[in-house]
């Protein structure tokens, strides 16, 4: 406990301890931790969904480019 300086050394009395702040209640602490974990899980799922959509779009684009190139190359080689 912390001593209250206002009463420390007062004549005829003992110093009055100042109560410290109460520690957080375990249930409140755990519920706040769980809420953070739920929020973090939601954000991570959204990020994963966005990454999957990006990979799908890039894969489709690369397949389109490779198919387009394979159609152009035989045409060029046959005319030579």
For the whole model, what pTM was predicted?
0.47
**Burial class for 15, CB neighbours closer than 10 Å (0-12, 13-18, 19+):** middle
Average pLDDT over residues 52-74: 77
- Residue spans per domain, the chain: 42-80
pLDDT class of 61 with cuts at 50, 70, 90: confident
The pLDDT tens digits of the residues spanning 26-58 come to: 888 899 999 999 999 999 999 999 999 999 999
Are 21 and 1 contacting, i.e. CB atoms less than 8 angstroms apart?
Answer: no
The pLDDT tens digits of the residues spanning 4-20 come to: 455 555 555 666 677 77
What value does the CA radius of gyration of the chain take, rounded to a whole number of Å? 35
């Amino acid at each position: 406990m912390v001593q209250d300086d206002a009463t420390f050394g007062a004549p005829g009395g003992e110093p009055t301890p100042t109560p410290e702040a109460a520690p957080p209640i375990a249930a409140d602490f755990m519920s706040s931790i769980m809420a953070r974990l739920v929020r973090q899980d939601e954000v991570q799922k959204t990020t994963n969904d966005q990454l999957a959509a990006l990979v799908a779009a890039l894969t489709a684009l690369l397949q389109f480019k490779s198919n387009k190139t394979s159609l152009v190359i035989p045409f060029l080689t046959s005319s030579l």
